[in-house]
Amino acid sequence: MLMTNRKEKLSPAQILVSLDSAQDSKLTGRLYSGFYRKVYNFNSETELLLAMDRLCDSMQFPQASFKSRSFESKYSKTFVRKVENFMESEIDTALQQDRATFLVHIKFRQNASWQGSITWVEKEKTKNFRSALEMLKLMDEARHPAVKEVVDWEETT
């Protein structure tokens, strides 16, 4: 189910990620939850991954195959962040603007990461991913299609 004509609604298991225009190297944008029908703004890759992981935890789907480790005791303080109300028109606007938009379906949370599929909505291309890092790399490749970064470990004189 692609989101190009927006007559369909997000299923509870789907997360729509709308990235802002690439101004610098970090990912910023909005995450739309089909389960809670809310929108969450993020300002970095870390915020995106943590928001998606907390969303899966709160839905209890997909079930995590392990309990997360923490430096904090089990009596740590809980921080509550407000999430805005979901608006269908906001999704329509995101899809019409010059952004990269992805429909993410996390199918499993195993081996301390995620496995699932990601659809690049504008190009109608779908790829499976085996980890959260691979998902981020696919998003970054969509934002910068002609750029392949290679690290040169050799000294140049």
Res 60: pLDDT: 82
Condensed to tens digits (0 to 9), the pLDDT of residues 73-87 reads 666 555 566 666 655
29: left (phi over 0), alpha (psi -120 to 50) or beta: left
Mean pLDDT of 115-144: 92
The amino acid present at 82, given as its one-letter code, is K
Mean pLDDT of 122-126: 92
Confidence of residue 136 (pLDDT cuts 50, 70, 90): very high
Condensed to tens digits (0 to 9), the pLDDT of residues 6-44 reads 445 777 778 999 998 766 678 889 998 878 878 889 999
Q: Which residues contact 144 (CB under 8 A, 6 or more apart)?
A: 22
Per-domain residue ranges for the chain? 14-66+82-143
Distance CA 101, CA 97 (A): 10
| 74-78, 123-127, 135-139: range with lowest mean pLDDT | 74-78
Q: Name the helix (H) or strand (E) containing 47.
A: helix 45-59
Res 6: pLDDT: 46
**Average pLDDT of the residues of the chain:** 79
Q: What is the pTM of this model?
A: 0.74
Res 3: pLDDT: 47
Res 7: pLDDT: 47
Tell whether the model's pLDDT for residue 111 goes beyond 80.
yes
Distance CA 137, CA 144 (A): 10
Phi and psi of 7, rounded to 5°? -80, -25
Condensed to tens digits (0 to 9), the pLDDT of residues 45-61 reads 999 999 999 888 888 88
Q: How far is CA 44 from the centre of its chain?
A: 11
Distance CA 157, CA 139 (A): 35
